Structure 1
Amino acid sequence: MNNYRILTLINFLTLVAIGISSPLFTLYLQELGATFALISLIITGAMVAMLASNAAWGWLADRLQARERLFVAALAGTAIAYFWLSAADNLAMAWLARLLNDVSMAGVATLSLALMGDALDASARKGRSMGFSRGLGSLAFAAGAFGGGWLADAWGFSFIFLVCGGFYLIAALVALRLREAPASTPSFSASPVAESRPSGLPLLFLAGVVLWTMAHVASTSMWPNYMNAFGYSKTAISSLWGLAAVVEMPAMVVSGALSDGIGRAAVLAAGGVGIALVQIGYLLLAVSLPALIGVQIVRGFGFGSYTAAAMTFAAETGGQAQRGRNSGVFNMAGVVGQLAGSLTGGMLVQVAGFHALFILCAGLALGSALCFLWLRRRAPALTAHKWNPG
């Protein structure tokens, strides 16, 4: 089994675990006695730890040139964090376990992207391959989310965290089969601009990542509450959410392949425009369930277009020597957007209502699209697919 298939399998296993645990973690903290304010503090603190850890894991991987071993360590650390969480009987233990989880998860996200970039280094179909791998992960997340609630009702929170730890432990064992990537000597099409491409990620790209992620997280963090205000049942809300996750799989494959042909920036911009249209759909069409189904399909394609192209761009820019650091910086930008979005969503709704939130999110998403289009104009060699295999 080659590294691409191994990484795709690991991605599937880890996203099943994330799908199981993510919707239930705050309920677990509440069961342990945490107030809503304390829950917010625990999650924010863990995200700050993840923010700092992304760059550290990437720098360490490039410095030591030991991505495979560090990746196994990060997966094992996440497994330990879940086992610890399952045994937690007080908030202090749960908080420390969550810190270890997010620090280790930063390593998993950063190193898996760098390793995937290594695996696809000489491929002419990076976008499609990245889209398939990440899209399969979306299906895994959806399956975990659907099954997690049932497991928690039947066996309790401790059991589901044991299950999640088991998934990560299996992933760590699978990662032992990864082979060290050879030194890369890619060939690009003759272009003086392409040969002088910078090693770091462009600021316009990172700005677009922050804006897009902020828009998406701010909107989705309050979307269930918005749907509830219209009288939709929990079943309808979860089904609409799951529909978007299912659509993400084909969307990532299609948009990844499209980015191989027309360039990453154009597909990234389409992802920004798609998420902006979703916000407008929430504003105008929330009273109609059939119309919301259409909006959620657009959301799946908007998410898929951005995610496949952004991951591919981050993994291929700068070459193998800089791939760990670039992956870490890319994930850092995403966490900054997550923090800003999670802090903005609830506070803005509290002060100005849901409509103000969705208007802001539409503006942020359009802002990300403009960043990506500007990037395409400023650095066409970085955003167009110029790869020749061999």
Structure 2
Amino acid sequence: MPLPYWRLSAYYLFYFAFVGAFSPYFGLYLSSIGFSAADIAIVMSLMQVMRIVAPGMWGWLADRIGARTPIIRGAGAASLAGFLIFFSTEQFVGVFVAMALMSFFWSASLPLVEALTLEHLKSKVARYGAIRVWGSIGFVITVLALGEMLDRTGLRAVLWACSLILGGICLFAFSLPEAPEHADRPRATEGLRDILRRR
């Protein structure tokens, strides 16, 4: 099976473009709608909390079903759906719920895409950097371009920019092919509870 170089690269580009749009600017958007520093800290911390909790659960599920792409695609769609809630509420509870949902699904995808990329590369792991660099390009371009744009349009444009980028993530998630399963790939035998109990 040929390496889906551009599809994997495009996914990384959009994934880290979202980081470049969301991390520096979403807190400013929350401040613009009247959130206190404490409220912003609570809401933004959910992204890090979900990065601790969710990947292990999603990885376990991927091993159980023996495929990564269905979860990557579902996570992309669910992340976008969760983010769209921000358009309909400026109340703390609504924003908290939207952030929790978006973060829970968004944090599922990158570890699975990393594993998928390495499976596609097989023995050609030296090419990983040529794929992953597109994530850095997406991050830098987005931070610079969006910062310039927000000076002209106002901070609510953060919602539109992030939504469009999440749409790109979703689009390329559906384009990623499953990697051929290796005969020596270990299958999951532990339960989720056993994995979560590991120190």
Q: Name 2:31's counterpart in structure 1.
A: 30
SS at match of 1:101: helix
Pairwise mapping of residues 101-140 of structure 1 onto structure 2 (< 5 A)?
Answer: 101-121=102-122, 123=123, 125-126=124-125, 128-140=126-138
Amino acid at match of 2:57: A
Q: CA RMSD in A?
A: 2.2
Q: Deviation string for 1:216-270 (max 9, x for gaps)?
A: xxxxxxxxxxxxxxxxxxxxxxxxxxxxxxxxxxxxxxxxxxxxxxxxxxxxxxx
Contact 1:81 1:165 survives alignment (8 Å): no
Q: Name 2:176's counterpart in structure 1.
A: 178
Pairwise mapping of residues 182-261 of structure 1 onto structure 2 (< 5 A)?
Answer: 182-185=180-183
Pairwise mapping of residues 84-99 of structure 1 onto structure 2 (< 5 A)?
Answer: 84-99=85-100
CA distance in 2 between counterparts of 1:153 and 1:321 reads 51
**Is the radius of gyration larger for structure 1 or structure 2?**
1
SS at match of 1:181: coil
Q: Name 2:83's counterpart in structure 1.
A: 82
Q: Deviation string for 1:154-176 (max 9, x for gaps)?
A: 22333322222222223322222
Q: Name 2:57's counterpart in structure 1.
A: 56
Q: TM-score, normalised by structure 2?
A: 0.83
CA distance in 1 between counterparts of 2:97 and 2:136 reads 28
Q: 2:153 aligns with which of 152, 155, 170?
A: 155
How many residues get paired?
188
Amino acid at match of 1:73: G
Contact 2:39 2:92 survives alignment (8 Å): no
Q: Deviation string for 1:316-342 (max 9, x for gaps)?
A: xxx4646xxxxxx9xxxxxxxxxxxxx
Q: Deviation string for 1:9-45 (max 9, x for gaps)?
A: 1111121222122101111121222222222222224
Identity of aligned residues (%): 24
CA distance in 2 between counterparts of 1:149 and 1:87 reads 24
Amino acid at match of 2:42: L
Q: TM-score, normalised by structure 1?
A: 0.45
SS at match of 1:157: coil
Contact 1:75 1:172 survives alignment (8 Å): yes
**1:3–1:167 Cα change, 3 Å:** same
CA distance in 1 between counterparts of 2:168 and 2:50 reads 25
Contact 1:21 1:148 survives alignment (8 Å): no
Pairwise mapping of residues 4-19 of structure 1 onto structure 2 (< 5 A)?
Answer: 4-19=5-20
Q: Name 2:192's counterpart in structure 1.
A: none
CA distance in 1 between counterparts of 2:43 and 2:171 reads 30
CA distance in 2 between counterparts of 1:132 and 1:88 reads 40
Contact 1:4 1:120 survives alignment (8 Å): no
Displacement after TM superposition at 1:71 (Å): 0.3
CA distance in 1 between counterparts of 2:129 and 2:101 reads 29
Contact 2:10 2:134 survives alignment (8 Å): no
Q: Name 1:225's counterpart in structure 2.
A: none
Q: Name 1:141's counterpart in structure 2.
A: 139
In structure 2, stretches of 5+ residues that fail to align are: 189-194
Contact 2:26 2:158 survives alignment (8 Å): no
Displacement after TM superposition at 1:108 (Å): 1.5
Q: Deviation string for 1:181-227 (max 9, x for gaps)?
A: 222147xxxxxxxxxxxxxxxxxxxxxxxxxxxxxxxxxxxxxxxxx
Amino acid at match of 2:160: L
Q: Name 1:41's counterpart in structure 2.
A: 42
Q: Name 2:191's counterpart in structure 1.
A: none
**1:144–1:320 Cα change, 3 Å:** farther
Q: Name 2:4's counterpart in structure 1.
A: 3
**1:163–1:43 Cα change, 3 Å:** closer
**1:170–1:69 Cα change, 3 Å:** same
**1:131–1:160 Cα change, 3 Å:** same
